[in-house]
Structure 1
Amino acid sequence: MAVPRRDPTENTKRTRGILGLTAAIAAVGIILVAIAFPDDEQTATLPTTSTPVPSHPQDVEESWQADPADSVLAPGFDPYPPTFKLPDATTLTGDAISASLKLEQDATPFGGTVGFSFEGADLASPMWDPDNSNLNEMLAAVENPVIRFGGLKGDRRVWWTSANEPAPSWAEATVTPTDLENVAAVADEVDASVTLVVSLARYDPDRAADMAAHARAIFGDRLLAITIGNEPNGYFLEGEPDRSVRDKTWDTNAYQDGLEEYAAAIESASPGTPISGPGAYDATWWRAFADSSVANQTAMSMHWYPLWDCSGPASSTANPTLEDLTSPKLRESARNIVGMGAETAEQYDLPLWIEETGPTSCSGGNETSRTHAQSLWTTDYVLTAAELGAERIAFHSTLAACEGGAPMSPICATGTYSDPGTIVQGRTSYLALMQLSWIPDGNMLTPTVSGDGTVMVHGVFGADGSLTLVVSDLRDPASGAEALPVTVSAPSGLGADAPGSWSPASGSLLTGESLAAQESSLTALVPVEPRLAALSLSAAEPLTIATQPGSTTMLVLKPNS
């Protein structure tokens, strides 16, 4: 995937502009007992309230009456923090974490990497009207966002028509070219890249080809690819006839037959349409897609939810618990599974996209839902996956209500379960996506970090020579653990024309009171205090900074002249 390049200084200015003009902070009280991202019905609970923050300090009275449709509702976000500060690392007595970073020849590009996976039914949502919704503002706050439409409903319960045909009884939503035009207008406004699933579950190659042709014409270059089917490896489930859309004869050979027929119909309707796939968690199906005769293969896509062991034993490392979500073992699982996907994609000379992901696929709310721990995991997982080769990472999301909606979604609507309305707000993981999008475009660095893995250091070498350090500290801030010094060596492998030294220029901090806290706090990316600005990183002089338990520290270093 081509990665857009932009000046990191402009990146910061643009972010501050969008968020400074539209940011709002909400006080949220939510207790949810719901499901993660399935087809089942969900239960409603307590209401959510939110209060906009002044868009300019001098306009307090006027801004408190701001239209929510023009606001970024991000509980815990501070758009006007003072100068960025960290504890003085020279005063810390704990064992230092040491980190080295290397630019590999095949380093993954980073920029326009993170965003949202929506159900296909959300294409028909009224939230894509910016006159009545703030969804455009919420997407814009995650710069150059990834947007994907698919999911189980997109494959099984969405009816596409460009000829106003009546929808069949199984359809929960009807999508038309007008809906695509509404979404495309927002995608243009927020500078998003888009991928779209066409239904393979409801077998109709010509209808899928018609949808793909309209999407390509409407989205233009913003449409990166069409995916044929969502999780085809789950079309037949032994013992679950209600959830199966094929019989026991369904296998990778049958999938390839259908895939190739669809691709031929799409090629006939819109020659050259890029195709990605298979959108599955299974190496056998990854290879089935790549080994098919489908023309214009653009990327290999995978889905993964690392906490899948919904009722697992205590010995499992994939339970939907705070302990497993923040365990370094989960990072190792990502390295194993995402690494397998990256190796398979590389074998076929395709980029790797993670088109649907999130903490857990388990049904119902659990102790990880809506927590500060989820925001910490989000950052560490994204950067780990990007280090391994993932160029596009979409977190499965819902436009349903916060009250009774899927608890793992980064965003949700502020209305009731039965009437969600059109105003959207962010959860803790949304703050993590915001912060990640502020990293200046560049290439991922491969880290080697000491310690037990609870403190991890990630790095991005910017296209302009900047260096971004992200320290993920998964320790529980409620444990009483002390801040630790982190010593980072200058990156290797940069080449002879790389800067000789860097100094901290700007920073942002994501924190929370405990791993279980239902809120996180995020400061905007702002200039660092003079003490930090006076520090330097070079081959002869490592940089030592402090990390606090339960925090994500982002520090952007600029080359010294």
Structure 2
Amino acid sequence: MLLFASCASHDTRETVQAQMLGESGHGFVTDSIGLSIESSTLAGDGKALQTRKLVSLFEDFRPGMVLRIGGNTSDQMFWTSKGESKPTDYGFTATPASLNKLAELTKQLGWRVVMGVNLRARDPQRAADMARHARSIFGDWLTAIAIGNEPNVYYPSNPPFGTYASDVRRYTNEIRSAVPDVAIQAPDASGNRSDFIWSSASQFARLPAAVPDVYASHFYGAQGCDTGSMLPRALFTEFADERRKSSLDNIYHAASLSSAPKVVLSEVNSINCGGMAGISNRLAGALWMLDFAFDAATQGFNGIYFHGTITDCIAYSPVCVADDRAINTADPFKALFMLNRMANGMAMLSVAPYVSNSNIRLYGLRGRNSLVLIAINTGEGNGDWVDVNVDLPGSDFVELTATEIFTKDETSTDGTRLARKTSMDGVPPDLDRECASGPGDSEPVATARVASRPASAKVLFFCERND
């Protein structure tokens, strides 16, 4: 009877058939993925940074990742290079010593830096002075100056939003006068404020001197500020997917309207207002991070920067310094590591299921002589195993290895699979090196096959025969 039951269970397992097609979006490169942290990290000359421990933690990451310093606290920051006392209406002081402390980390890791300046203060000369010192300290690793953070909060609430565009033009002129070769990033608006996104883009289009080099906006998968009973599954519902699609469409097309040459999602995470423990910092948050990054890259976004507060251990921070100075990592840190290792000059490919399954999300990457398939399963029940078969673009690919994020805590009754701790089996390989001499003697396959377990992301890596 047990044997028959096992067979019946296997026979009813759903199968998803799909095909890997041509390129979609932009390439997946080292600066496609970034970490966003609060400007308050610079307070107290940056002494809260545990540089040696953080360098050790990130030593297996590829160099070139972006570190954005911004968030709400960028508009509470008082910058001074002259030792001035902080006025009472600012939250903290940042100095050249703060930037030097941060540079100890970024230079050792080879990280690119996006530095936020205070727009709310309406002091473009002070912002330009900060940009000048940032260029001197970070050198060519300083890739952009971000003017303000979520200005939709402190400009008038209705279009045309007061003097926003003209203020950005003043800041841009001052910053480019001080550092001619630095990119300007704006508006860094809330992703749910489509009115501000479209209005700022149209104003930029009418003011060529204000057009940013990088059009930036934010996105959070769910609104957690006033919700105490959210379930992990809420990140992956049809409503959540539609909300994401609508927001990203607005942002991408607004960037095109503004004539900005690049568009990034500069502050991203699963749930806003610091996230929610048991969701943002667990398997649900890790799977959401992977799914969102590949989805946005497929849609053409040049960068996706996941937000946290590196000096404050709240739920959505992938990594943080605890009160005892120990470095803590949440489960999404594993996803950040996986994304960084895969962002190696590959093209995003579209993967089209013949019949869709709401739990299965498929993505593809194509390298010089390599191929990657990502299968994400957001189901939670024992019956949510899915056999995924994807036709590859040709029959000359040999499977090299696999990496999987899932939970080994299958017996826990404390919440669903998505709320459990994340396990990671395998490490994404260096495909350029591994595939340079060909895939060896293994038999090539025309179809990739994945037994996709509930609440998991499995990544298959292939080398292409070159004989």
TM-score by length of 1: 0.70
Of 91-100 and 332-341, more deviation after overlay is shown by 91-100
2:253 to 340, 343, 348: 343
> Quick check: 1:110–1:386 contact (8 Å CA) kept in 2?
no
Does 2:451 align with 1:546? yes
Does 2:99 align with 1:180? yes
Q: Which amino acid aligns with 1:234?
A: V
Q: Which amino acid aligns with 1:331?
A: D
1:194 to 103, 113, 128: 113
1:555 Cα deviation from its structure 2 partner: 1.4
Q: Which amino acid aligns with 1:125?
A: G
* C-alpha spacing 1:273/1:112, structure 2 compared with 1 (3 Å): closer
SS in 2 for 1:196: strand
Does 2:381 align with 1:503? no
* C-alpha spacing 1:107/1:153, structure 2 compared with 1 (3 Å): closer
1:294 Cα deviation from its structure 2 partner: 2.9
* C-alpha spacing 1:106/1:115, structure 2 compared with 1 (3 Å): closer
> Quick check: 1:444–1:460 contact (8 Å CA) kept in 2?
yes
SS in 2 for 1:399: coil
Does 2:370 align with 1:460? no
Does 2:173 align with 1:268? no
Question: In structure 2, how many angstroms separate the alpha carbons of the residues matched to 1:92 and 1:165?
Answer: 73
1:299 to 194, 211, 214: 214
Does 2:424 align with 1:522? yes
1:544 Cα deviation from its structure 2 partner: 1.9
> Quick check: 1:320–1:360 contact (8 Å CA) kept in 2?
no
Does 2:267 align with 1:356? yes
> Quick check: 1:206–1:265 contact (8 Å CA) kept in 2?
yes
Does 2:298 align with 1:377? no
Does 2:71 align with 1:151? yes
Does 2:305 align with 1:394? yes
2:322 to 394, 400, 414: 414
Q: Which amino acid aligns with 2:232?
A: L
2:339 maps to what in 1? 436
Q: How many residues align?
A: 429
Question: In structure 1, how many angstroms separate the alpha carbons of the residues matched to 2:221 and 2:78?
Answer: 31
* C-alpha spacing 1:269/1:330, structure 2 compared with 1 (3 Å): same
Question: In structure 1, how many angstroms separate the alpha carbons of the residues matched to 2:149 and 2:296?
Answer: 21
Q: Which amino acid aligns with 2:333?
A: Y
SS in 2 for 1:339: helix
2:83 maps to what in 1? 164
1:88 maps to what in 2? none
Of 160-169 and 446-455, more deviation after overlay is shown by 446-455
1:200 Cα deviation from its structure 2 partner: 0.7
Question: In structure 2, how many angstroms separate the alpha carbons of the residues matched to 1:183 and 1:227?
Answer: 17
Question: In structure 2, how many angstroms separate the alpha carbons of the residues matched to 1:198 and 1:115?
Answer: 18
1:288 maps to what in 2? 203
Question: In structure 2, how many angstroms separate the alpha carbons of the residues matched to 1:296 and 1:161?
Answer: 27
> Quick check: 1:107–1:445 contact (8 Å CA) kept in 2?
no
Q: 1 or 2 for the larger relative contact order (CA 8 Å, sep ≥6)?
A: 1
Q: Which amino acid aligns with 2:388?
A: V
* C-alpha spacing 1:231/1:292, structure 2 compared with 1 (3 Å): farther
> Quick check: 1:92–1:485 contact (8 Å CA) kept in 2?
no
Question: In structure 1, how many angstroms separate the alpha carbons of the residues matched to 2:97 and 2:227?
Answer: 45
* C-alpha spacing 1:346/1:461, structure 2 compared with 1 (3 Å): farther
* C-alpha spacing 1:503/1:441, structure 2 compared with 1 (3 Å): same
> Quick check: 1:259–1:294 contact (8 Å CA) kept in 2?
no
Q: Which amino acid aligns with 1:393?
A: I
* C-alpha spacing 1:524/1:128, structure 2 compared with 1 (3 Å): farther
1:229 Cα deviation from its structure 2 partner: 0.9
1:235 Cα deviation from its structure 2 partner: 0.7
1:553 Cα deviation from its structure 2 partner: 0.6
> Quick check: 2:148–2:187 contact (8 Å CA) kept in 1?
yes
> Quick check: 2:418–2:455 contact (8 Å CA) kept in 1?
no
1:29 maps to what in 2? none
1:321 maps to what in 2? 231
Does 2:20 align with 1:115? no
1:452 Cα deviation from its structure 2 partner: 2.4
Question: In structure 2, how many angstroms separate the alpha carbons of the residues matched to 1:221 and 1:325?
Answer: 38
Question: In structure 1, how many angstroms separate the alpha carbons of the residues matched to 2:91 and 2:399?
Answer: 51
1:518 Cα deviation from its structure 2 partner: 4.2
> Quick check: 2:74–2:118 contact (8 Å CA) kept in 1?
yes
Does 2:331 align with 1:331? no
Query: Which string of whole-angstrom CA distances, capped at 9 and with x for unpartnered residues, describes residues 446-468 of structure 1?
Result: 22123322111111111x22111
1:250 Cα deviation from its structure 2 partner: 8.4
* C-alpha spacing 1:268/1:192, structure 2 compared with 1 (3 Å): same
Question: In structure 2, how many angstroms separate the alpha carbons of the residues matched to 1:168 and 1:332?
Answer: 44
> Quick check: 2:168–2:210 contact (8 Å CA) kept in 1?
no
> Quick check: 2:320–2:329 contact (8 Å CA) kept in 1?
yes
1:349 Cα deviation from its structure 2 partner: 5.0
State, as a whole percentage, how many aligned pairs show the same letter: 25
* C-alpha spacing 1:93/1:560, structure 2 compared with 1 (3 Å): farther
1:223 maps to what in 2? 142
> Quick check: 1:326–1:373 contact (8 Å CA) kept in 2?
no
SS in 2 for 1:200: coil
SS in 1 for 2:186: strand
Question: Structure 2: any 5+ residue segments left out of the alignment?
Answer: 1-9, 410-415, 435-439
1:203 maps to what in 2? 122
Query: Which string of whole-angstrom CA distances, capped at 9 and with x for unpartnered residues, describes residues 245-276 of structure 1?
Result: xx678843510111111111112222233111
Question: Structure 1: any 5+ residue segments left out of the alignment?
Answer: 1-90, 237-246, 314-318, 492-498
Question: In structure 1, how many angstroms separate the alpha carbons of the residues matched to 2:370 and 2:75?
Answer: 42
Q: Which amino acid aligns with 1:370?
A: N
1:141 Cα deviation from its structure 2 partner: 4.0
Query: Which string of whole-angstrom CA distances, capped at 9 and with x for unpartnered residues, describes residues 505-545 of structure 1?
Result: 122111113434341111232789xxx994533xxx32222
1:279 to 188, 201, 219: 188
1:103 to 14, 22, 28: 22
Question: In structure 2, how many angstroms separate the alpha carbons of the residues matched to 1:510 and 1:122?
Answer: 30
* C-alpha spacing 1:482/1:270, structure 2 compared with 1 (3 Å): closer
* C-alpha spacing 1:253/1:517, structure 2 compared with 1 (3 Å): closer
SS in 2 for 1:378: helix
Question: In structure 1, how many angstroms separate the alpha carbons of the residues matched to 2:226 and 2:179?
Answer: 46
1:148 Cα deviation from its structure 2 partner: 0.3
Q: Which amino acid aligns with 2:359?
A: T
Question: In structure 1, how many angstroms separate the alpha carbons of the residues matched to 2:70 and 2:201?
Answer: 17
* C-alpha spacing 1:441/1:92, structure 2 compared with 1 (3 Å): farther
> Quick check: 1:411–1:425 contact (8 Å CA) kept in 2?
yes
**RMSD between aligned residues:** 2.8
SS in 1 for 2:265: strand
1:259 maps to what in 2? 168
1:557 Cα deviation from its structure 2 partner: 0.6
TM-score by length of 2: 0.84
> Quick check: 1:142–1:437 contact (8 Å CA) kept in 2?
yes
Of 543-552 and 277-286, more deviation after overlay is shown by 277-286
1:201 Cα deviation from its structure 2 partner: 0.6
Query: Which string of whole-angstrom CA distances, capped at 9 and with x for unpartnered residues, describes residues 22-80 of structure 1?
Result: xxxxxxxxxxxxxxxxxxxxxxxxxxxxxxxxxxxxxxxxxxxxxxxxxxxxxxxxxxx
Please state which structure has a larger fraction of its residues in strand.
2
Question: In structure 2, how many angstroms separate the alpha carbons of the residues matched to 1:102 and 1:331?
Answer: 22
